[in-house]
Chains A and B, each alone.
Chain A
């Protein structure tokens, strides 16, 4: 199929990274709250989610061809437009993360007098966070770009796993050393390692859907960072505690490189397709 390469600038892959990590952080914050985990962890996770909830819309608006018309995203709600679903989800997500943060402050608690609203905000944060961490795979997958369409089933799983690893890493780097975060990081790294192995086998078998070039190499490096490297560093933490922070850095960096790689591959795939 002849297809046009994406016109998106660096802000979009950066958003895919930031939005996904923020979404996963909100899920961690909500789960930590309901599991009665350390309040410090809940607060840190909420702050990470809230920072992501501010950065994400800024990135998205600045990529628009007409940024002053960003509110037009909310003219209609179209379930069949993944971009529309994402825009609405992001708005609700930003509202939920800030509500959770505000309601948990002493002033918020004094004003509302109950924890029910905080719980509701956390529930909303978990739900929209789950959508945010996964829908970007649908956003790229359900398009006419050959390499994205060929990976329509894979991208949501891959983005969810790498978002989760990045979120755990961010909360850890913000000063938390909870065992739960380590377990989450371990699970995310394991999923990405499996993905890397499957992808390598696929390449060796010649069933490659990814066009060769810088994009493919970035995806490869990204998977090594979010998968194998993060996994090894997590496992080394028992003997070498400093490895934990490095595992977080690997998960965060890999997650960003992965998304930039998918964007570059999409561009290459569209151009390759057109020249046939």
Chain B
């Protein structure tokens, strides 16, 4: 079996908000319950991606063309080309798989929590009772044996598509062109290849503003700040040493 670079293409225009992806993910990956809190925000009682939520159906209410609009989009770890969490991990627990996904090895993670603050999408989270960091595994175990991830398999409308990343990119472009031709001129494909994350393995198609779907237009890979911060640290160290030497 040859390995290929895989991806998700989540098309919000065909999502019906059924949350089968959330359920399938929880069942397959044995992710614990995240409680029964009513958020009061549309039909979204999941809230956000977190340690026990690896797929999250976002409900976006608004107004489009004078009519109420109600959009759904299943959010997931973006599996960045240059991943903030992977670079930040001090133990080497976070690795890149042969399919191009970003995977946290649960037997290595020591729960330092640095990946949590290093993800520009706010995806990774530490599970309080367990102590380790968790996020979407891209169903690495299923992919290993040639299966599609649980969420994509369960999706009844093929809103979540799984396959070869380049093919999905072409498919997303075709889908956007079709919708534009039908007059949906607010359709956007989210695939920030020009940003410092260098592209993602989970691309999206949404209508309206990216912000409404929690998708940052320009996600910043935290390591791009390292040069600036270490330069400042170097200057600080020189100043500190200078003061101390001068004092004696």
Contacts and interface: CB of A to CB of B under 8 A. Distances in A.
A10 interface: no
Interface stretch (B10-18, B27-35, B103-111, B182-190): B103-111
B131 to A, nearest CB: 3
A6 interface: yes
Contacts of B243: 164, 183-184, 187-188
A201 B220 CA distance: 28
B113 A65 contact: yes
A73 B112 contact: yes
A84 B86 CA distance: 12
Given A130-B241, A141-B225, A65 B117 contact: no
B237 A1 contact: no
A66 B110 contact: yes
Task: Kindly name the residue among A2, A139, A183, A266 whose own CB sees the greatest number of chain B CB atoms within 10 A.
Answer: A2
Chain A: interface size category: 35 or more
B89 interface: yes
A111 B88 CA distance: 43
Interface in A195-217: none
Contact of A131 (B120, B123, B228, B237): B237
Nearest to B133: A65
A27 B238 CA distance: 11
B233 A156 contact: yes
Contacts of B62: none
Contacts of A4: 50, 116-117, 119, 122-125
A161 to B, nearest CB: 8
Contacts of B116: 4, 6-7
Contacts of A76: 90-92
B214 A2 contact: yes
A32 B247 CA distance: 9
Task: Kindly name the residue among B108, B110, B125, B246 whose own CB sees the greatest number of chain A CB atoms within 10 A.
Answer: B110
Interface of chain A: mostly helix, strand, loop or mixed: helix
Contact of A87 (B88, B90, B113, B119): B90
B117 A73 contact: no
Interface in B78-105: 84, 87-93
B232 A142 contact: no
Interface in A175-189: 180-181, 183-184, 187-188
Contacts of B230: 138, 156
Nearest to B51: A7
A245 to B, nearest CB: 19
B211 interface: yes
A137 B113 contact: no
Contacts of A154: 232
Contacts of A266: 117
A163 B243 CA distance: 13
Contacts of B108: 72, 75
A133 B248 contact: no
A183 B112 CA distance: 38
B213 to A, nearest CB: 10
Contacts of B240: 24, 27, 130, 133-134, 160-161, 163-164
Interface stretch (A114-122, A145-153, A220-228): A145-153
B90 A184 contact: no
Task: Kindly name the residue among A7, A152, A191, A270 whose own CB sees the greatest number of chain B CB atoms within 10 A.
Answer: A7
A51 to B, nearest CB: 19
Given A1-B220, A65-B113, A78 B244 contact: no
A134 B233 contact: yes
B147 interface: no
A145 B117 contact: yes
B121 A1 contact: yes
Contacts of B120: 1, 3, 144
Given A87-B90, A187-B247, 10 more contacts: A1-B216, A4-B122, A27-B241, A63-B112, A63-B113, A73-B110, A83-B114, A133-B236, A138-B232, A153-B231
Interface of B: 48, 50, 84, 87-93, 108-114, 116-128, 130-133, 211, 214, 216, 219-220, 222-223, 225-226, 228-237, 239-241, 243-248
Minimum-distance CB pairs A-B, first 4:
A65-B111, A65-B131, A160-B236, A69-B110
